Structure 1
Amino acid sequence: MLSQHLENRRQSQSADQPDGTPAQQSHGVLFSSGVSAFTPRDLLILAFYHKRIILVVALLAIIAGLTAATYARTRYAAESLVMMMIDRAHAGISDVAGTLPSILSIDGLKSVDSEIRILESRRVIEDTLSALGPVTLFPEIARPRLFGLLPADSPQDQLEKAIDKFKRRLQVEQQSSSNIVRLSFSHEDPDLAADTVNALADAYLKRRRAIFDVPRSPFLASELARHSDQLKSIEGQIQALKSEYDIVDLGQESLLAANQVDSIVQRRRQTQERQAALQAEVTAAKKRLAALPERVFDFREQSNQTQNDDDRNVLLRLELERDRMASQFLPDYPPLQELERKIRTVRQSMKGGDKPVYNTTREVRNPSIPFLNNHLLTLEIEQDAVARQLDELNRQHTVAVEKVGRLRKAESELRDLERTRSVMEDIYRDYAQRTEAARAEEEAAKVRFSNVRVVQPAVAPATGTSMAPSFIIAGLVGGILLGGAAGVLATWLRQVYILPHEIERDLGVPAIASFSDTDGELVSPGAQQELIHLAAQLRDHGLDDQPMALIQFVTANDGDGDAIVARGLALEFAKGRGLRTLVIDLCGDGTGQLAAINAGADGEAAGEADSGAGERVTDHRAAKRRRPRSAALRRAVALGVAAGDGIGAGQPAHPHRPVAPDAGAAESTL
C-alpha cells in the first residue's frame, strides 16, 4: 500500500479537474518524514475491519443482559420504622432515677448503633426464620442440587443458606440526624415481606427484653446490707479509738497540741533567759553593794549674805513705789524726790565691801545602799520564782510531747479507719443508688417493655422493583464496552497492516500512495488522484538527476493488488503523461494483463466516443496520440507473454535491473 500522507493530504490535493487532465500541483517530496495523525476515520476503519469480533462480543453481552432481565423477578420491599428513645428519662436506661444528666448526642448515636447491631444479630434472624420457616421464605433452598443430581441440603445447611439470603435482603438504616431506624426486607411476595419485617421486629424486641431483663435488685440489696454492716463496724471502731485517746476532733486536737508544745517551748526559753539575767543582776548587785561607802558628800555653800540682810527687798519695794508715783506726779514732786534719795541710799549700802564670807559643807548617809539592798532582795525573790516556773514548764513540756505522740499514733490509726470508712461510704452510696435504680427499672419494665417503640409496622407494599431495566441497560453498556475492548484487543493482536501510518510507524519509511479499491480497476476519483500523484512522485524524483526508468512492484502475498496498481500506473504513464511504457509480468504469462488493458482501452474508447458526440470542438490529434499508445501497450503485453520465459525465468535474482528502456520511457516490472 502506498499513500501520500493519507486521506487528508489526498483530499487537499484533489481539486475539481476535468477528466483525463493530469494533476499540475506539487505533490511534495517522495521521501518525506513524519507520521500522520490518528483520525476518526482510522477508528472507523479499525472498527469495520474487526466488526465481526466486535459485533459478536457486543451481542453476547446484550444477550446476557436480556437473559438476566427475562429471569429477573419483581421484589417488594416492606418497611417498618423503629424509634430508639435514648434519653435517661425513659425506661430501659441505667439511670431511670434521673440522678445523672441526660445522654449526650454522641452517646445517643452509639446507643442507636448498638441497637442496630442487636437487630442484625444472628440470634434475631434465627428467631425470625424459626417463626416463619426458612423454606417458606426461600423455597429454592429445599430443592435438589445440581439439576436434581444431588439431594437437597440438610436442615442445618438450609438454615445457614437462609440466614445468608436473609442478610442480603435485609436493610437496617439509621435515619440522618434522628433516632429512627428503618427496617426493610425485599421478597417476591409482598405479604410475606411485610410478615417478615413484623416478625423481625417482634424477635428483636423479645431478644432485647431477654438481654436487658436481668433482675438485679436482690443481689444489690444483699450487697447493700453487707456493706452497711461493715460500715457500722468501722464507725464503732472509730468511736472507740476517739474515746480511748479522748479525741473530739483529731485535726483540732493535733493543732492545739502542737501549738501547746510550741508555746511551752517558747515560754521555757524566755524563762531560761530571765533566769540567766536574774543571776547576772544578783551577782552585779552584790559586787556594787560591797563597794559602796557608808557616807557620801551632800553639798558645799559659800556666801557673804547674812540672814537678816533685806537690802534687795527694800530696793525692790522702793523702785516699785517710785514707778507708781512717777506715773501719777511730776518729777519735782517732793515725795517722789524723797523716794529717789532712799533708793540711792539703799544702793550705796549694798555696794559696801565690809561683809564677811561664810563656807558650809554637808555629808549624808549613802542612799544607794538601801536601794541596792531592796533591789537585791527583789532579784533573789524573783530568781527563786523563775526557778520554780522553769521546773513547771519542763513538766508541762513533757506532758505536751507525750500527748502529741499519742495523737500522732491515734491519727495514724484513725486515718486508716476513716479511709476505709470513706471507701465503704462510696461503695454503700453507689450500691444504694444502683439498688433504687434497679428497683425503679424493674417496676418500669412491668409497665413498659423497653425504650424501643415500633413507630410504623410493616404493611404489604403495592409496588415493587425489578432489575430487568438495569440488566438491559447493563447489557447494552456492557456490550458497548466489551465490544470496544474486543476491538482494542483484536487490534493489539493483529499482525497485518490496514492503515498507512502503521507501516510508517513500524518500518520507518514514508508512504506515498494508498489504494482502497484494489479489487476493481482503480476507476474511482480518489484512486485516479492517487495514481496521478504516485506517477508525479516517481517522475519528479530519481537517481543522479535522472528520472526513474525501471519500477518493480513486489508484494508479500499473491493477490494483494500489485497487478492492478502496476497496470493503472502504466496506463497513467502512457495516457496521462505520453510516455512509452512496457509492462512485464514476471509472475504469469501476461494474458490477464493484456485482457485487462484491452477491456480498459475499449471502455475508454467508447466513453470518448459518447462524450465526443456532445462536444463542439474535438481534439483529433489527442485521440490519434492515445490510440497508438494503447495499441503499444497491448503489443508490449503481448511481447511480455512471448518473452516471459526469457525475462521472467531468466532474471529472478535481479528484479531491479532495467530492461533496455527507450529515452524518456519508464519500465515497470511486476
Structure 2
Amino acid sequence: MSTSAWTSVPHDSPPRMAASGPAARPRYAPTDFVTLLWRERFLMLLVFVIIVALGFAFATTLKKSYTAQSSLFVRLGQEYVYEPRAGDAGRGAVPTTDEVIQSEAEILGSGALRERVIRKIGFAKIFPQLAGKYAGATPEGKRVLIAEGRDAIGKSLKIETAPDNSIIRLSYQNDDPEMAEKVLNTLLEEYLVYRRSLLIGGDNTVLQRQRDIFSQKLGQADAAYQDFLTSNDIGDFTAQKTSLTQLQASVEQQRYSVEAQLQDRSGRLAVVEAELAKTPTESIIYRDVDMSASVKLAQLKLDREGLLARYTPGAQPVQDINAQIAQLERGLAAGRTGGEGARRSGPNPIWQTLASTRNDLRAEVAALQQSLTAYAQQSQSVNERLLRLAQLEPQFNELSRDRDVLSSNVRDFTVREQQDEAQRQMSAETSDNIRIVQRAVAPSTGKSLKKPVLLLAVMFAGFTALCVGLIRMFLRPGLQTPASASRTLGMPVLATAGVKR
C-alpha cells in the first residue's frame, strides 16, 4: 500500500555544496515546524496521554486537607519588664510591641511546644497511619517518631504576624477537621502554660540563696558590732556622741558665763575694798546743843517787861537790864555764848554695809572660782571622751556601714523574693496580656490539590510532547521539506515524488 505524502528521498547525509566544503545544516522556517510536528503527532499524542494519565492517577490519591484557624491578642506584660536581680540599673526597661510579638511567635513555633501537644493528645491520635509502628517501637524509636511528628506539625502549622499589629494569626492543616481543631486548640492551651514557665521561671531559689548568704554575713557583722560596743563600754555610739557634744557645748557655755560673773564680782570687790579703806569705822550717832544763853536772854526780856510796869523807861533799873540784854545779844550774835552739849558715837553703818558687801563678793568670787575649776575639769573630761570616740569612730562607721549595707541587701532580696513569688503565682493563674481572640473550630470545607495537579499534569504533558516531537524532528536524517531543501542547498526544488512507506 502506498501513500502520496510529500517527502524527500531518504539518504544517509545531506548533499554537499562542494567537494571540499562542510556538510550543509538543514535550515527551517516556522511553517516547516508546523508541517514536521504534524508528522510526529502520533508520538506526541502518545506521550501526552501517558503523562496525563499518570498525573490523573496521582491526583486521585490526594485527599482533602482542612485548615483550622485561630488568633491571639498580645500585649506587653509584667514578665517583659526588666527587674534586675541586684541593683537598679536598667530597672523598668521594656521591649517594643514588635519585639514582644516576635518573641511570642517564636514560642508558638517552638519544637518543645509542639512536642507537648503530641504528648498531651497522643501520637497515635494525631498520626493514625503510624499508630502501629509507634506502639511497637522501642523508647529510642518512639523518640525518633515524636521528633518526626513534631516536624510534621511544624510544616502544617502557619504563624502570621504583621508590623505594628498586636494580633498573631495561627492556622493548622490536617486531613481530619476535628483533629485540626483539637491540635490547634491544644497548642494554644499548652502555649499559655509553657510561656509562663519559660518567661516567669520555675522558682526563686537564686534570690533565696543570695538572701541566705547576706543573712549569714549580716549575723557576722552584728556580732562584730556588738563586740565593738561591749569592749569599748558604749551603749549607743551615735546617741553617746550626740549627748557628749551637747554636754560639751553646755559646759563651755556655763564656763564662759562663770568667767564673766567672776570678772564682774572681782571688779566689784576691788571697788568695794577701795571704798572700805577710805570709810571710817565709827561715826557720831547724836549730840546736844547748849541753850542757856538764849533762855537767859528771854528771861531778861521778861524781867525788863516787869520793870517797865513799875518804872519809866529811863529809870536806872530799866537801863541796867537793857544793858544786860544788849550785851547778851551781842554775845549770842558773836557766838561767844554757845558751847557743846552731850554727844554719842558708834560703828559707821556705811562701813558696815561696805564690809558686808565685800564679804558677800569674796564668797561669790570663791564660789565662782570653784565652779570655774569644776567646769574646766568637766570640759576636759568631755573632750577626752569625745577624742576617744573620735578615734573609735572610723571603726564604728565601717562596722555600721557593713551592717547597714547587709541589712539593706537582706531587706531588698526579701522584698524581691516575695514579689517574685507573688508575680509567679499570679502569672501561673492568669495571663492578662495574652487573650485568645478566636479559638479554632472544625473547618466545614476542605481544600484539595486535585485540580492544580491535573492542570500541571496537562501543562507538563503538552510541554513534554512538544519537546519529544521537536527532538524526533531534528533527529530524522535528510531534508524533510522541499522548502528546507531549497534553503539548505541554495537551489530550487523543481519536483517532488511520493514514496512507499
TM-score computed with the length of structure 1 as normaliser: 0.38
Higher helix share: 2
